[in-house]
């Protein structure tokens, strides 16, 4: 079978890497892909008429499965377009993708289905939001309703700071249409984890647990990024709490969507806060996490393709998945300055030294080819993933590998997976 993956980041590199290993797959295409992905898949640029323009390509190339990586094309209804054209496509419809595309939809959905989440209020006028801030104790978590490239959540400890955030979102439109309405919710304190499942709208296959590191600097300091590193499994989500998460969050979500006439197919990613041992939903994502997918898929021994196909067709195989017992840790190397302004175009060296190690995998996020190898071409540049028998040994292995790779203005966190160590 031929498979097309849509997207260009580290997550898509991991998906392509895993899909290409399937005995069912003859060839993988990726649009637009990146320099690392082009070593495993045939990459090509986005046509002028956008992803919708790929329908003809898929029909001509007899693509048996399309996998949509990022949230924006899902929210825009790409899966609906492809399905209408008769393609087999993995991912939720636009209606179901509202779980991620509208925070208000997600919060009200959770309220309707008694799914634990932080108490919240919804606003469509800045004056009302400001009055609410002035009459409630902080801290406050302010969330633009729509997709804002991962920047739409602002945590404020100070009332004036919160008022300014509301005014910037609703009156100055810093997130455009995404900020016409917003949610203000209570701040939850605890440890975060990512619980990711595959589903065909009815049956649910949980993937391994993981934890992301969103802040740019060690000890979770500095602004949030797309993710600076992740590991799997995440001890905070292991043990009996897994059953609680399935019973109180995942199953009610899938059942609730079906009951509301918008069955959810694809990946459901619940971003959770564990507060005194109880899980609460911070947010839903309707796509694979980036970078959580990289440590998860490097541990998955089972073939991913039958799961993706089954989810798309409505008959996902529910047999248990086989996982490597190892820990897997990814450290993201970024361009200094990210998530703000940064320079790019620097030569990357040292990657060839990592090629022969079976327990190391490099996933490219923002790179482009040069005559002598690769150049940096994005905020998140590379993710180095290592597998090992214990967290300590895996941390050692991944950071030894990270130190062999060089490019100007490179930045990475040195405490990825340190939280997991504290739990043993
Ligand atoms: P998002 O951009 O929706 O992924 O949210 C970004 C981050 O904001 C989450 O990963 C949490 O760290 C934080 N966050 C969101 N909601 C809350 C909340 N109610 N309490 C505490 N932190 C939150
Ligand atoms: N790693 C966070 C996300 O994918 O949204």
Q: How far apart are CA 300 and CA 294, in angstroms?
A: 10
Q: How far apart are CA 345 and CA 335, in angstroms?
A: 10
Long-range contacts of the stretch 45-48 (C-beta < 8 A, 24+): none
Using alpha carbons, list the distances in angstroms from residue 296 to 142, 179, 196, 299, 362. Answer: 30, 33, 10, 5, 14
Specify whether the CB–CB gap between 43 and 5 falls below 8 A: no
**3-class DSSP assignment, residue 367:** strand
Span 225-239, average pLDDT: 96
What is the number of the ligand closest to the CA of 292? Answer: 2
What is the number of the ligand closest to the CA of 142? Answer: 1
Asked if residue 187 has its Cβ within 6 Å of ligand 1, the reply is: yes
Residue 284 has pLDDT above 90, yes or no: yes
Asked if residue 367 has its Cβ within 6 Å of ligand 2, the reply is: no
How confident is the model at residue 47, as a pLDDT?
Answer: 87
Q: Which two tokens stand for residue 310?
A: 């089954």
Q: How far apart are CA 76 and CA 418, in angstroms?
A: 38
Asked if residue 102 has its Cβ within 6 Å of ligand 2, the reply is: no
Asked if residue 149 has its Cβ within 6 Å of ligand 1, the reply is: no
Phi, psi angle pair for 88, to nearest 5°:
-90, 115
pLDDT digits (tens, 9 = 90+) for 287-337: 999 999 999 999 999 999 999 999 999 999 999 999 999 999 999 999 999
Dihedral sign for Cα atoms in the order 327, 41, 289, 313:
negative
134-138, 249-253, 362-366, 403-407: lowest mean pLDDT where? 134-138
Specify whether the CB–CB gap between 99 and 264 falls below 8 A: yes
* Residue 169: CA count within 13 A, CB half-sphere: 31
CB-based burial, 295-319: b 16+ in 10 Å, e otherwise: bbbbbbeebbbebbbbbbeeebbee
**3-class DSSP assignment, residue 282:** strand
Asked if residue 192 has its Cβ within 6 Å of ligand 2, the reply is: no
Residue 49 has pLDDT above 90, yes or no: no
DSSP character at residue 351: G
Q: Which two tokens stand for residue 413?
A: 């966190």
Residue 28 has pLDDT above 90, yes or no: yes
Span 200-209, average pLDDT: 98
| pTM summary value | 0.96
pLDDT digits (tens, 9 = 90+) for 364-386: 999 999 988 999 999 999 999 99
CA of 150 to the centre of ligand 1 (A): 10
Placement of tokens 């595959």 in the chain: 198
Q: pLDDT class for 150, splitting at 50, 70, 90? A: confident
């Amino acid at each position: 079978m031929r498979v097309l993956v849509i997207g260009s980041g580290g997550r898509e590199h991991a998906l392509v890497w895993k899909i290409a290993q399937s005995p069912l797959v003859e060839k993988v295409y990726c649009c637009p892909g990146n320099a690392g992905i082009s070593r495993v898949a045939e990459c090509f640029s986005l046509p002028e008429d956008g992803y919708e323009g790929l329908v003809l390509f898929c029909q001509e190339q007899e693509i048996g499965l399309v996998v949509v990586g990022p949230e924006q094309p899902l929210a825009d209804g790409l899966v609906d377009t492809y399905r209408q054209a008769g393609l087999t496509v993995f991912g939720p419809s636009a209606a179901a993708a509202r779980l991620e595309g509208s925070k208000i939809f997600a919060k009200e959905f959770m309220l309707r289905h008694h799914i634990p989440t932080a108490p919240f209020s919804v606003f469509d006028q800045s004056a009302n939001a400001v009055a609410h801030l002035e009459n409630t104790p902080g801290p406050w978590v302010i969330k633009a309703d729509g997709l804002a490239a991962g920047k739409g959540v602002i945590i404020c400890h100070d009332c004036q700071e919160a008022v300014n955030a509301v005014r910037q979102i609703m009156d100055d439109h810093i997130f455009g249409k995404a900020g016409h309405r917003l949610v203000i919710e209570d701040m939850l304190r605890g440890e975060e984890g990512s619980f990711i499942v595959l589903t065909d709208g009815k049956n649910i296959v949980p993937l391994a647990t993981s934890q992301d590191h969103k802040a740019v600097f060690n000890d979770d300091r500095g602004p949030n990024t797309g993710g600076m590193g992740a590991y799997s499994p995440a001890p905070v989500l292991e043990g009996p709490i897994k059953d609680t998460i399935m019973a109180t969050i995942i199953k009610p979500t899938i059942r609730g969507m079906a009951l509301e006439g918008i069955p959810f197919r694809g990946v459901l990613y619940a971003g959770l806060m564990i507060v005194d041992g109880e899980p609460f939903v911070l947010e839903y994502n309707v796509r694979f996490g980036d970078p959580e997918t990289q440590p998860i898929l490097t541990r998955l021994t089972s073939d991913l393709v039958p799961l993706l196909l089954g989810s798309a067709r409505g008959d996902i195989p529910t047999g248990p998945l086989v996982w490597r017992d190892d820990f897997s840790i990814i450290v993201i190397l970024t361009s200094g300055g990210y998530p703000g302004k940064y320079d790019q175009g620097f030569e990357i060296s040292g990657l060839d030294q990592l090629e022969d190690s079976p327990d190391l995998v490099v996933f490219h996020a923002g790179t482009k080819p040069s005559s002598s190898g690769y150049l940096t071409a994005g905020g998140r540049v590379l993710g180095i993933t290592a597998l090992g028998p214990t967290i300590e040994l895996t941390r050692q292995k991944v950071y030894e590998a990270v130190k062999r790779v060089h490019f100007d203005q490179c930045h990475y966190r040195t405490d990825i997976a340190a939280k997991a160590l504290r739990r043993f």
